[in-house]
Structure 1
Amino acid sequence: MYLVISKKGQKMNKEELHQMLHPMKLIGLGGNQALNEKIANILHIPLLETAVHHFSDGEIAVNIGETVRGCDVFVIQSIQDPVNENFMELEIVCDALHRASAHRINCVVPYLAYSRSDTKTRSREPITAKLVANLLQLTGIDRLITLDLHAEQIQGFYNIPVDHLHAMPLLAHYYLDNGIASVDEDDVVIVSPDHSGTKLARSFGSFFNAPIAIVDQRGARYDDSVHDMIGDVKGKKCIIVDDLIDTGTRIASSTNSVLAAGATKVYVAASHALLSHDAISVLNKLPIEQIVVTDTIKHEKYPDRLVRVSVDQLLARGIDYVYNDRSIHQIFDEQNRIK
């Protein structure tokens, strides 16, 4: 560690010098203000006063209340419903920061919308996840910090560093801490709602030394019908694992399928709770013991038996590590120690 002498004759290490030359600033936008405030409180850094005004025709105007010249700025915005409005807020603020001579612009996006559109499956279809990456980079951002992307390969759409944090260990820890499942039990099965989620189910199952099963759903659409199961769930406690819950139909289909195959109890773990359309009504009708999600997305109302696990500490640590040039891999190592 190099030492330098300040004007007051005090010795400073490299980290302290960086903090003096490029102080950290936080901006929290309207996607999930509750989570923004939690992160700011953990970091002991107040959110910058940022005025975001929406005109009657839908246009957005932004004004940042204090100077950010030479600062390392972290903009926190969950791109949730209304998706396009929240995305444009992020874009416009990043452009304002670029024009205000911020040293580095870091986007912290707990939920990155359009991640499901990561590949072209039919003729004349867009790859919207790539378009979003292009648009974000056009504003001159330096880094993206996000959480549980729908597909990890989306990181390759960016020509800037992407720190892809994982919330699934937090959800697994919840089940372990509350005695719902443990590494000693042999009656727990982790269920993927389709074939594409097998990798996620296998990773989640490693925290419990549990086998996995797959709902053999085929085709692009989900419904409430019962599907075949790959794997044995008879007499077992099942935890259905997915990266997000949107309308609830995939969870409903999976729940009906595992119960028809003889499962005794059904739990759900998902990173992002979009809860679109009548998802709350759909989930409330299901014989699910508990649904465990994160707080990446804020709603006014939630389904019964739903528990939200906060990702505030995880994101705050990610911000702190990036700002102080520490390896994010340390976070992954610590998460893996609970296995």
Structure 2
Amino acid sequence: MANLHEPKLISGNANRPLAEAVAARMSMHRGMDVNLVDARVERFNDGEIFVEVFENVRGEDMYIIQPTSNPTNDNLMELLIIADALRRSSAARITAVMPYFGYARQDRRSKARTPITAKLVANILVEAGVERILTLDLHATQIQGFFDIPVDNLYASPVWALDVMHNFKDQMDDIMVVSPDVGGVARARDLAQRIGAPLSIVDKRRGKPGEVAEMTVIGDVKDRVCLIVDDLVDTAGTLCKAAEVLMENGAREVHSYITHGVLSGPAIERVSKSVMKNLVITDTIMPKPETIACPNIRIVKTAPIFAQAILNTWNGTSVSSLFNHKTLQPIYEGVYGR
């Protein structure tokens, strides 16, 4: 049964441009203005975060748009405090729209006496009053099982499929989708199946943590246009090395499709000097000026898919329909329109 109230959006400071873009897309779909709830999210001189909501949210269906990207702890605290403010203001339901889920790489105990921080974050979000999670390309899908509330994990691969079919329409027979490691095969295979391309794998062996000792290409990439697919790029060391290995094995071109552009430390410099022709990322993490200025980094918008997912959640209709790139075609009309 559809909600009688309109969905209401509120944003922290992590990626306000994305929140505003989502509101604009929802306004277009609804045929009426959908604005961000008027609020202030500020810091006291000692660094404490303070939130004040200036509009009545009693009985409302609230959506907090806040990726927990760098600075992860500050952005996570903003999300928790906004949720607490909404809960104490009698909001009917609180959904955390987390385009990028921070701490997702700490999803298991890799050695003795280490935490499972992703589970801790899940517990804290629920305790703060969050009743539903909406995110994109979780680093590990089992994180959904850390929650006892609904978690809708959207996929970037349908968007990538539209992008590839638009930008490589004259080279589709030459495309080779590449997983940068064995663990990411499922994600790469998903895109490969959508666009009807073969799959290759770069098998990496680490000498010690943080250093790749050896890389081997599994599959024939000679004269292929290789598309490396992964969920996040951090310092870009492994990604740039994988691109070099593919070129050494005869690839014609190498492009990368990475959902979350963390791009910390020397990443931008490495990408700019890499043999990769393009690194394509989404705007789940607010891009830095140097990211925008980098000539071989392209940013794809996620506002269309998040706006539709929020509307589907609010209406009580299927979110899984957004897993199909054919369903996304009209949503991304004007971006990848026919």
Partner of 1:113: 102
**8 Å Cα contact 1:226/1:260 also seen in 2:** no
Partner-residue secondary structure (3-state), 2:215: coil
What residue identity is the alignment partner of 1:37? Answer: E
How do residues 268-287 of structure 1 correspond to structure 2 at under 5 angstroms?
268-287=256-275
**8 Å Cα contact 2:204/2:213 also seen in 1:** no
**8 Å Cα contact 2:137/2:231 also seen in 1:** yes
Cα distance between partner residues in 1 of 2:110 and 2:328: 38
Which of 24, 30, 43 aligns to 2:7? It is 24
Partner of 2:307: 316
Structure 1 position 224, deviation (Å): 6.8
Per the alignment, do residues 336 and 241 of structure 1 end up closer, same or farther by CA in structure 2, a change over 3 Å counting? farther
1:244 maps onto 2:235 in alignment: no
Partner of 2:196: 209
Cα distance between partner residues in 1 of 2:175 and 2:209: 28
Which of 38, 42, 46 aligns to 1:49? It is 38
Kindly provide the CA deviation profile for residues 253-303 of structure 1, in whole angstroms up to 9, marking residues without a partner as x: 211211121212111001010110110001111011111111111122213
Partner of 2:296: 305
Per the alignment, do residues 182 and 259 of structure 1 end up closer, same or farther by CA in structure 2, a change over 3 Å counting? closer
Single out whichever of 85-94 and 213-222 deviates more from structure 2.
213-222
Unaligned runs of 5+ in 1: 1-13
Count of residues in Structure 1 that have an aligned counterpart in Structure 2:
319
Partner of 1:35: 18
Percentage identity across paired residues of the two chains: 39
Per the alignment, do residues 335 and 146 of structure 1 end up closer, same or farther by CA in structure 2, a change over 3 Å counting? farther
Cα distance between partner residues in 2 of 1:266 and 1:141: 41
Structure 1 position 306, deviation (Å): 1.2
Kindly provide the CA deviation profile for residues 44-86 of structure 1, in whole angstroms up to 9, marking residues without a partner as x: 2110111112012211111001111000101100111111100
**8 Å Cα contact 1:190/1:210 also seen in 2:** yes
Cα distance between partner residues in 1 of 2:110 and 2:253: 35
Q: Based on CA coordinates, which of the two structures has the bigger radius of gyration?
A: 1
What residue identity is the alignment partner of 2:182? Answer: H
What residue identity is the alignment partner of 1:109? Answer: M
Cα distance between partner residues in 2 of 1:178 and 1:329: 26
Which of 60, 69, 82 aligns to 1:93? It is 82
Kindly provide the CA deviation profile for residues 118-153 of structure 1, in whole angstroms up to 9, marking residues without a partner as x: 111101111111111001000121100000100111
Single out whichever of 254-263 and 217-226 deviates more from structure 2.
217-226
**8 Å Cα contact 1:114/1:128 also seen in 2:** yes
**8 Å Cα contact 2:178/2:229 also seen in 1:** yes
Cα distance between partner residues in 1 of 2:139 and 2:185: 13
Structure 1 position 211, deviation (Å): 1.5
What residue identity is the alignment partner of 2:82? Answer: V
Structure 1 position 169, deviation (Å): 1.5
Partner-residue secondary structure (3-state), 1:177: helix
Partner of 2:145: 156
Partner of 1:4: none
Structure 1 position 337, deviation (Å): 8.4
Per the alignment, do residues 181 and 104 of structure 1 end up closer, same or farther by CA in structure 2, a change over 3 Å counting? farther
CA RMSD of the aligned region, Å?
1.7
Kindly provide the CA deviation profile for residues 145-169 of structure 1, in whole angstroms up to 9, marking residues without a partner as x: 0001001111000000011111221
Partner-residue secondary structure (3-state), 1:288: coil
Cα distance between partner residues in 1 of 2:210 and 2:76: 28
Per the alignment, do residues 179 and 189 of structure 1 end up closer, same or farther by CA in structure 2, a change over 3 Å counting? closer
How do residues 217-232 of structure 1 correspond to structure 2 at under 5 angstroms?
217-219=204-206, 221-223=209-211, 227-232=215-220
What residue identity is the alignment partner of 2:18? Answer: L
What residue identity is the alignment partner of 2:139? Answer: H
Structure 1 position 207, deviation (Å): 2.3
**8 Å Cα contact 1:118/1:151 also seen in 2:** yes
Cα distance between partner residues in 1 of 2:129 and 2:227: 41
Per the alignment, do residues 334 and 213 of structure 1 end up closer, same or farther by CA in structure 2, a change over 3 Å counting? closer
Structure 1 position 179, deviation (Å): 2.5
Which of 168, 174, 192 aligns to 2:163? It is 174
**8 Å Cα contact 1:225/1:253 also seen in 2:** no
What's the TM-score, normalizing by structure 1?
A: 0.90
Cα distance between partner residues in 1 of 2:210 and 2:195: 28
